[in-house]
């Protein structure tokens, strides 16, 4: 981006470019209701799963509000990533990407700005999930684990968002991006320990259920909420770090290729 004065064009620093584009994305999220939807969707999903499953799970000695909320958060991060893919694809199809390529904007600025706006939506979903979970009995046990809980949730959301943003940028098709992301996220969420323990699945699929990323992240969040530092925490951190690095590299490569 450049600004003009009497002495000619003035180059805008990348940080200011990022700030302006981030503000634009956040305003669009507010205007289009993305933040309201991000806040409300965890409330709906929590109630839809909690009401029919609570009695059977509590009969087995499980505090279901405490057990379920981590999965609702993971699911909310997946939905945030789908919105990220949609928004990136709309920017491409709407010509915003073309306009930015005509300006002296660093290749990392547009995806980072979109990611900032998407993380605001993720934060809205996190708040909504914690509100409904607290109303039904979810509690934190320890300040430090609670902060780690929030950090891990947002890190997982960031890892999903950056990869989904790159997918949306590549396809330039909002419908295609959402379709591609829907099937794997549905499979990972449903075939996980998020709703029921691994023992509730047939024996042949239990190893996959226990070790896939959603189960590991949900297990780590569950342990942190209880004031513990479970083994899943290390595995989740590795998964998230790998996804963040891979997604960041992919996003920058995609943006450079389009220039």
Structure tokens at 40: 């409300």
Residue 196 lies in a domain: yes
pTM of the full predicted structure?
0.86
Residue 225 lies in a domain: yes
Residue 75 lies in a domain: yes
Residue 100 lies in a domain: yes
Q: How far apart are CA 1 and CA 109, in angstroms?
A: 11
Q: How far apart are CA 102 and CA 30, in angstroms?
A: 27
Q: Name residues whose C-beta falls within 8 Å of residue 202's C-beta, 6 or more positions apart in sequence.
A: none
Residue 3 lies in a domain: no
| pLDDT of 76 | 93
Residue 186 lies in a domain: yes
pLDDT of 5 over the 70 cut = no
- What would the pLDDT profile of 97-149 be if each residue is shown by its tens digit? 556 665 656 666 777 888 888 899 999 999 999 999 999 999 999 999 999 99
Number of domains in the chain: 1
Q: By three-state DSSP, how is residue 253 classified?
A: helix
Decide if 15 contacts 116 (C-beta within 8 A).
no
Mean pLDDT for 37-50 is 93
Average pLDDT, the chain: 84
pLDDT of 258 over the 70 cut = no
Residue 77 lies in a domain: yes
* CA-based nearest residue to 80, from 169, 165, 151, 21: 165
pLDDT of 7 over the 50 cut = no
In the block, residue with structure tokens 């449903």: 190
Structural domain of residue 77, as residue ranges?
Answer: 11-257
DSSP characters over 210-224? HHSHHHHHHHHHHHH
Q: How far apart are CA 248 and CA 22, in angstroms?
A: 17
Residue 1 lies in a domain: no
DSSP state of 12: P
| pLDDT of 8 | 45
């Amino acid at each position: 981006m450049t600004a003009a004065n009497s002495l000619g064009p003035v180059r805008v620093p990348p940080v200011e470019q990022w700030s302006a584009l981030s503000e634009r994305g956040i305003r669009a999220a507010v205007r289009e209701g993305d933040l309201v939807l991000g806040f409300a969707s965890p409330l709906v999903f929590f109630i839809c799963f909690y009401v029919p499953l609570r009695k059977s799970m509590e009969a087995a000695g499980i505090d279901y509000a405490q057990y379920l909320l981590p999965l609702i958060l993971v699911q909310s991060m997946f939905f945030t990533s789908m919105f990220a893919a949609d928004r990136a694809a709309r920017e491409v199809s709407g010509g915003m990407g073309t306009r930015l390529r005509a300006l002296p904007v660093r290749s990392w600025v547009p995806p980072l700005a979109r990611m900032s706006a998407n993380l605001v939506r993720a934060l809205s979903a996190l708040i909504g999930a914690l509100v409904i979970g607290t109303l039904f009995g979810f509690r934190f046990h320890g300040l430090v684990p609670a902060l780690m809980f929030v950090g891990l949730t947002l890190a997982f959301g960031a890892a999903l968002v950056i990869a989904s943003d790159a997918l949306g940028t590549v396809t330039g098709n909002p419908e295609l991006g959402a379709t591609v992301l829907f099937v794997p996220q549905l499979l990972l969420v449903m075939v996980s320990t998020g709703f029921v323990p691994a023992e509730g699945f047939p024996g042949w699929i239990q190893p996959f259920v226990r070790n896939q990323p959603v189960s590991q992240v949900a297990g780590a969040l569950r342990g942190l909420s209880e004031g513990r530092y479970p083994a899943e925490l290390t595995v989740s951190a590795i998964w998230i770090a790998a996804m963040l690095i891979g997604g960041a590299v992919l996003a920058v490569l995609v943006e450079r290729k389009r220039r």
